[in-house]
């Protein structure tokens, strides 16, 4: 039976590197953060399996590969200020915090926010601000952000999130199109200009809020 640390290392090698994740910052962060801390205790033995897991409130912790893919696609780098919408158990925010300088993570379920705050405090991750509320409109008081990641799916890209992205920054989020979800990466290349590319099919919980679905 592999230890959790060994399972984590195997996850990085087999689920991330083998699928094309190459960003060294992402690989190191995924190898550092203990995913088992961010899932219900009864599911900790499954923490490094290749799939999502339930975390309560009808929410899930995303598959490790999807977390890594989104962070890599968003181009998160040292010194960045990052916004995450749909923080869930706090796992992705924890991973991002090992790379970026400052992370703001919004989650609409107060119970999940409370438990995520405790996990991050216990781990000593002090550069994450967790906020309970509607993240679909972003955090205008904290904008601009170098990267924005959204872990919930709507039918369009919320305009407030596009406007809160710094020029040169990237927004990664799932959007429902033609009956299926696609993970999109938008890069702001001017005051009113964005480029877009599709990262493939995904499955996320719905984006609920004033600027969703």
Total number of domains constituting the chain:
1
Would you place residue 210 in the very low, low, confident or very high pLDDT band (cuts 50, 70, 90)?
confident
Residue 194 lies inside a defined structural domain of this protein: yes
Confirm whether 62 is a catalytic residue. yes
Residue 179 lies inside a defined structural domain of this protein: yes
In this structure, the number of other CB atoms found within 10 A of the CB of residue 138 comes to 26
Residue 210 lies inside a defined structural domain of this protein: no
What angle is formed at CA 154 by the lines to CA 150 and CA 159, rounded to 5 degrees?
Answer: 75
Would you place residue 213 in the very low, low, confident or very high pLDDT band (cuts 50, 70, 90)?
low
Give the bridge partners for 180, in sequence order: 177
Residue 82 lies inside a defined structural domain of this protein: yes
Half-sphere exposure of 143 (CA within 13 A, CB side): 16
pLDDT digits (tens, 9 = 90+) for 12-63: 999 999 999 999 999 999 999 999 999 999 999 999 999 999 999 989 999 9
pLDDT of 112: 97
Q: Sort 19 into a burial class: Cβ within 10 Å, 0-12 / 13-18 / 19+.
A: exposed
Would you place residue 191 in the very low, low, confident or very high pLDDT band (cuts 50, 70, 90)?
very high
Domain containing residue 41: CATH number: 3.40.50.150
Would you place residue 211 in the very low, low, confident or very high pLDDT band (cuts 50, 70, 90)?
confident
In this structure, the number of other CB atoms found within 10 A of the CB of residue 177 comes to 12
pLDDT digits (tens, 9 = 90+) for 113-147: 999 999 999 999 999 999 999 999 999 999 999 99
What residue numbers bound the domain in which 47 lies?
4-202
Give the Cα separation of 93 and 22 in Å (integer). 20
């Amino acid at each position: 039976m592999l230890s959790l640390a060994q399972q984590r290392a195997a996850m990085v090698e087999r689920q991330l590197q083998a699928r094309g994740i190459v960003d060294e910052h992402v690989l190191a962060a995924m190898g550092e953060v203990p995913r088992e801390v961010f899932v219900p205790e009864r599911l900790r033995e499954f923490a490094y399996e290749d799939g999502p897991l339930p975390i309560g409130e009808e929410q899930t912790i995303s598959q490790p590969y999807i977390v890594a893919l989104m962070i890599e696609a968003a181009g998160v780098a040292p010194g960045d200020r990052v916004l995450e919408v749909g923080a869930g158990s706090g796992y992705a925010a924890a991973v991002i915090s090992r790379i970026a300088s400052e992370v703001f993570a919004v989650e609409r379920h107060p119970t999940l926010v409370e438990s995520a705050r405790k996990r991050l405090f216990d781990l000593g991750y002090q550069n994450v601000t967790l906020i309970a509320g509607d993240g679909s409109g972003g955090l205008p008081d904290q904008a601009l952000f170098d990267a924005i990641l959204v872990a919930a799916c709507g039918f369009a890209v919320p305009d407030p999130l596009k406007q809160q992205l710094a020029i040169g920054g990237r927004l990664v989020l799932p959007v429902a199109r033609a009956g299926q979800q696609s993970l999109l990466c938008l890069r702001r290349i001017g005051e009113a200009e964005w480029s877009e590319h599709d990262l493939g099919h995904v499955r996320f919980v719905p984006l609920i809020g004033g600027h969703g679905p």
